[in-house]
Structure 1
Amino acid sequence: MTHQHRRFSWRSLRTTRTARTAPSERATRTARRARTARTARGARLAAVLPLAVALFVAAPAPASFAAPGDGGDGKDGGQVTTAEDAENETALVAAEDHRLDQVRAVAAVAPLKGDKWTRPYRLETAGGYTLVFTPRTQPYGVADLLKFAPQTFVRSKRDGSYLLTENIYLLAGAKLKLSSPGGLTLRLASNSRGFVSIVSFGGRLTLEGTPQAPMRISSWDPSANKPDTDVRDGRAYVRAIGGQFSMTHAQVSDLGFWSGRTGGLSLTGTDRPDTGNIKYDDGEQDLNRRELAAADDKAEQESEQTPHAGGVIAQPAGELATPDSRFSVPDLSYVSAEITNSTISGNLYGLFLSGATGANIIRTKVINNLEDGVVLHRGVTNVVVDRTVSQGNGGDGFVLSRATQQVRVTGSKALSNGGNGFTLSGRPLANGPSASGESISSYGSNSVSDSTARDNGRYGIEVFGGENVGVQNNEVDGGDMGIVAREDATKVAITGNHLTGQTRQGISVRDGVSAATVTGNIIEGTETGVYVRDSQAEVRGNTVQEATNHGISLVGDIDKSTVSYNVVAGVGPSAVDTSRAHGGVTVKENQTFAWHDTSAFWVKFKHYASPMTLLWVSILLLILFSALLGARRSSRRGGVERLGVHPYADKKPLPSAPATEVGNAASNGNRPTGRHRVPAMTAGPGPT
């Protein structure tokens, strides 16, 4: 609430009260009240003005968030955040946290001060007035706002919209329903002098419209008569802390700044006791509240008779009335949400959930937000995101960050976002002992299925750590890479996806991923179809078409990986590249007949020049050399064989002399000559 609004409120109150007094007493009472008001206002301003100046005066510098449709004038977008702007926005978030703590502290003790504090009341805090709604059976609505805040909830005669110029705070059990049969347009005051918020702390907040007349809520700069698009000096926001939140047929726009909890539409958990699911019975809740109130009254009566001094209260020995909670961890109270058929645009973060369970986001559009679209932060479990579109956001389309489990995204679209289409992070909150004692276990059991990621600035779908993650039956078009699994993710199933037109890689499994399954995917028009680096994966039954570098590429330590039954077509150095891989990998039954190998001779030589191949080639060359050497020697010795001479003619025994000549020579004692020929002996029987 700005100081200008405060002056207007006090002036109006004085005028109304003065009109009811007699003319003779009017001047005296008016003068007395004026002196008192000036004194009190001076004291308040002396205490509040330094903080207000430090928090709410924005420096005239450009911000890094580019608001959709801005003209680049340095005020309504095209902004560049400076260090001074960042410090200012951080201080504003801290101031909001401090204000909420103050309201919570006062609200905890207010019911003990009398019955009048069980009805709605107003607090004056550093950030302006805060109207506190207390529990009752029926939900508060527009009529109650007009009744309890006639000066800060004003209807415009020009277009019928409502302008809210003070903060709203719902206590646990209180219900606020913002709707109107003809359509409600609610504008939250927000400019360089301050902003307002609607915060539910364990209550139930409902934004409800109809298909024909949706409910609209946005920030509004009264002086400029337009939404506030400058985030540097803070901006109005809506937040549910625990309790229940529901929104249907609503349009939320131009809210939030700097942090997730002040990011626009923020649903976060709390350390209060659980308030139940989105649906509950009013009668049962009222009964519980009555029982608690009776118990508080009894405790107050007993406390008057209990000895106590200096904050030390005596109690009898025996069973503890109040258990010692020093060694117990308080349970987290999750917020429950139901968001359907709505549009969220122009926020810092489109929709921010943290500490939520049982939330459903269905048929909702999250478009043109400054940072991420749908952010499921820590402690989010059992959430369904169905048929939701996240488009044109400055960061990622959908973010499932650490400590997020059992989230199912189906039938949704991430289109033209500045970062990833879908980001699924399951990394541990700590890698070892930490100051907060966080778990070192990975998170997971999340899935993205039957969804579309198109023309996103970075990746289509990124799995960053975690376990038991499913990426199934999605359409991924464009981007630097299509589907990326990395950073020690385990049991990642990438199946049945259709990827086209990635700049570098269609599917990438890298940096310590284990037990990954890449099966049944169709990858078209990428540089490399499937890329596996320093990971263990089963690549089976995929179809790669029109690849321009490698069909399937294996790099680094890929021990126990399998590449089988894939169909690879394209033009490039190799269909299945294993030249840079080491470890036990099985490559079999892949069809690469439609691949045109364009690698150079030496590249092919290096590819096939493995140690085993060189060994067998050496043995074959040795055998061939030996055979050629033997043939050469044979040709030298048996050259006459080629002239018709028997090859073994020189091996025949020498011819012997006739027997008659041998006999005559023996009888005469002379050697036989040519003149004395011995007649040939006739064969006959030998001597008997």
Structure 2
Amino acid sequence: MTRQSRGRAGRTPNRAGVAARRRAGLRTTSSVRVAAPRRAGMRKASVATALVLGALAALPSGAAKAGERDTVDAVAELGGAAVRTPAAWAATTPDAPSPPAAENGDADGAPSVTYPGDPRTEPELVAAEQGRISDLQAVTSPFPHRWEDVGGPYRVTTDPVATLVLPARQEAYTPAELVQTAPDSWSAQKDGSYLVREHTLVLAGATLAVGQGAGATVRLSSGPDGFASIVTLGGALQLVGGPGAPVQVASFDPLAWGPDTVTGDGRAYVRVLGGRAELTHATFAALGFWGGPTGGLAVTGTAPAHDVRPDGLAQAEGGVLPQFEVAREAAAERDAVSVSLDDVHVRGNAFGVFVTNAAGVDITGTTVRESLVDGMVLHRSVTDAEVTRSSATGNAGDGFVVARGSSGLSFSEVVATGNGRDGLHVDGRPLADGPNPAGTGVTESGGHTVLRGTFADNGRYGVHVAGGTGFTLTDSAVRDNEMGVVVGAGAQDVALVANDVTGHRQGIALRDDVTGARVARNTLRGGETGVYVRNATATIEDNEVADVARHGITVVGRAEGTEVVDNTVSGTGPRPIDSERAVGAVVEANAVDGWVVSRSLSEITRAVFQPLTLIWLGVMTLVVLSAVARARARREGIRHPYESYAPLSSFTAGVVDRAAAEEVRA
């Protein structure tokens, strides 16, 4: 039996009550367990819960749960020999059917990525996490103005794992302090690491600092009975190690005594929800499941709840109704997100690094490897982000992803190799094409630049641009992907300049209503076709195309405004520049002296057996057969038409009289 099926079975007792409450429209929001209607009544009940929580004392400094810490320490003392491996556990656990595989594709017909998790349980777990955070937003909203009533960190009982809340204060919270004040949540292990058993929530005005320039190891508990997470809700997260001594954050499955490799029952994750994060000399491993916000290491700058303070109360004009203003200072602080990643290494997350609704994100020297879906995802509403000297390698989907609604992103000296789909996937199409229930706009996004990048050995495209306005790829190497650089879906103002593109079926492809594209000073070698233009408008100039096997440059379909000039083309194939099927293209002043015309047997066959050719061949065949028949007749002379026939009487003895015949018989 796989540990995934064991994990689901192990979680059944804890999940059953939660599922039942969800079906009833109820949600547990605090240690008082106030059951609140899921929608309209939830906020009222949550505020009531907050008032009850205001009377709670701070966390005691007593020992952790007896047996829980003892068990971990006892197993640590026993070492690896005493730990049951997943295979050993499977040998003692009944088999269960495996969940169906989930697939992840895109609207452009990209090959699907087979996700190894459970598509039946994981979406529910993502929704449960979002519900938990929404409840905590409602419960903790009054506390920034009256946290002194609580006196420090406090716990909120959320199923199946409780949440440790760190309210605002001037000094940063540290693991050493939390081990003392919140032993149920954080505990120190004998190897010097920290084991986090419960969710940790960092509120606005609070800072959680780990490492502080030295190495540290934080293991987030993650197994069949639940998982832990670290989430900032407007607060600050500082994971700062040192050169050669990183802060290490990973999931930890006590049953496997190692990283949690199963996502079907959820998995530990880190999320920066508003506020600030400084991640320097840090590693993250085996985190996250299913969705971007819970995908492993997520940066999301959004918080729907805002603070309302009664100090804005004033009498309305005319003295009829009172009025008050919404104070948005704390909400603005919580909604904004500022994140820097420097020398961060991520391996084996669901989504390696996920960023959405953020501005000014700075990512330097970061590597993302072996993600279950995509490597580094810059999702909706990411603006003015810089990604420098970073790499995405061996991820199941795309290496780097720029999703719709993001603009002004800069990539410099990035490397994307060995990913299952595209090295870099940029989608600049509008979020909607007209009025829609979500009210999203119809404006395209873009303005992205890539300088000195390397995109090699990816499963589909090296660089893929779908729609948008403004994209520049310069001084980059694109090698040995199925296709090199593909631009489509009506993208505008695309510049591909001074790149080295080698070993593709099509080196650069512009298609499907691309306008204003410029392809200049590129070197394209190998493959079938250097530059391919279909139903697009582009200027193809001053490129060197060599060693291609079909056409150096191909232009087909609607091509009004397309110019192919001053290119040097060499190789072998039917023709160096194929523009006979294009309408409106201008082709001139290209150097094709190095082209060797040759055709394969299939091309010769196609050229010969055209419909009109077949008709003429049929006519000629009839003429030849007729001539042969006439020549044969002349050689043999003219014969009587009945020459080979004889009279019937020549085959009998003549007419016999019946009476005479009877006499002969008698």
TM over 0.5: yes
Q: CA RMSD in A?
A: 3.6
1:489 maps to 2:491:
yes
Contact 1:62 1:81 in 2 (8 A): no
**Distance in 2 between residues matched to 1:114 and 1:551, nearest whole Å:** 70
> Contact (CA 8 Å) 1:154, 1:164: kept in 2 or not?
yes
Amino acid at match of 2:567: N
2:403 equivalent in structure 1: 401
Is the Cα–Cα contact under 8 Å of residues 63 and 232 in structure 1 kept in the other structure? no
What is the percentage of aligned positions where both structures have the same residue?
37
Give 1:506-585 correspondences, 5 Å limit: 506-582=507-583, 584-585=584-585
Q: Which residue number corresponds to residue 365 of structure 1?
A: 367
Which residue among 133, 152, 156 is the counterpart of 2:185?
152
Contact 2:474 2:496 survives alignment (8 Å)? yes
Residue 142 of structure 1: CA displacement? 1.5
Map of 1:648 onto structure 2 = none
The 2-side partners of 1:209 and 1:331 are apart by: 26
What is the CA-CA distance between 1:581 and the residue it aligns to?
Answer: 1.4
After superposition, residues 104-503 of structure 1 pair within 5 angstroms as 104-110=137-143, 115-117=148-150, 119-157=152-190, 159-179=191-211, 182-271=214-303, 316-317=319-320, 320-322=323-325, 333-502=335-504
CA–CA distance in structure 2, aligned partners of residues 557 and 389 of structure 1: 38
Contact 2:248/2:283 (<8 A) preserved: yes
When residues 541 and 112 of structure 1 are mapped into structure 2, their CA distance, relative to the original with a 3 A threshold, is: closer
Q: Give the number of aligned pairs.
A: 517
Q: Structure 1, residues 165-200: CA drift from partner, whole Å, max 9, x if none?
A: 011001111111111565110000001111011110
Give the AA of the match of 1:534: N
> 1:455-488: CA deviations, max 9, x gaps?
0111000111001111111100111110111000
1:119–1:592 CA distance, 2 compared to 1 (3 A): same
1:61–1:81 Cα contact (<8 Å) kept = no
CA distance in 2: counterparts of 1:254 and 1:602, whole angstroms = 55
Question: Taking structure 1 as reference, are residues 324 and 316 closer, same or farther at Cα in structure 2, changes over 3 Å only?
Answer: farther
Q: Which amino acid aligns with 1:525?
A: G
Deviations 1:389-431 (A, max 9, x none): 1111111110011001000001110011111001111000001
Q: Structure 2: where are the runs of 5+ without partners?
A: 1-9, 15-30, 32-59, 68-94, 104-112, 613-666
Offset of residue 161 of structure 1: 1.3
Whether the aligned pair in 2 keeps the contact of 1:61 and 1:80 (CA below 8 Å) is no
Q: Which residue of 2 aligns with 1:61?
A: 98
TM-score when normalising by structure 1: 0.70
Q: Distance in 1 between matches of 2:577 and 2:147?
A: 80
Give 1:298 deviation, angstroms. Answer: 5.8
Q: Report the TM-score, using the length of structure 2 for normalisation.
A: 0.72
Q: Deviations over 1:81-115 (max 9, x none)?
A: 58xx3121011011111111111111123467773
State the distance in 2 between where 1:297 and 1:377 align.
37
Contact 1:535/1:557 (<8 A) preserved: yes
Q: C-alpha deviations, 1:578-598, integer Å up to 9, x for none?
A: 12212x211100011110111
Q: Which has the larger radius of gyration?
A: 1
C-alpha separation in 2, matches of 1:495 and 1:352: 29
Q: Distance in 2 between matches of 1:360 and 1:514?
A: 31
Contact 2:446–2:471, Cα closer than 8 Å, also in 1 = yes
Q: CA 1:14–1:559 in structure 2 vs 1: closer, same or farther (change >3 Å)?
A: closer
Give the match's secondary structure for 2:162: strand
SS at match of 1:218: strand
Distance 1:181 1:377, change over 3 A: closer
Q: Secondary structure at the match of 1:403?
A: coil
In the alignment, which of 117, 128, 134 is matched to residue 95 of structure 1?
128
Secondary structure in structure 1 of the residue aligned to 2:136: helix
Offset at residue 118 of structure 1 (A): 5.1
Q: Report runs of 4+ in structure 1 exceeding 4 Å deviation.
A: 1-4, 9-16, 62-66, 78-82, 110-114, 295-299, 313-319, 329-332, 600-607
| Distance in structure 2 (CA, Å) of the matches to 1:416 and 1:526 | 19
Q: 1:180 to 1:360 in 2, by over 3 A?
A: closer
Q: 1:558 to 1:13 in 2, by over 3 A?
A: closer
Q: How does 1:649-664 map to 2 (within 5 A)?
A: none
Change (3 A) 1:540 1:13: closer
Q: Quick one: which amino acid aligns to residue 130 of structure 1?
A: T
Contact kept in structure 1, 2:418 and 2:456, CA below 8 Å? yes
1:272 shift after superposition: 5.5
| Structure 1 unpaired stretches of 5+ | 17-57, 67-77, 275-291, 307-312, 610-688
Amino acid at match of 1:87: R
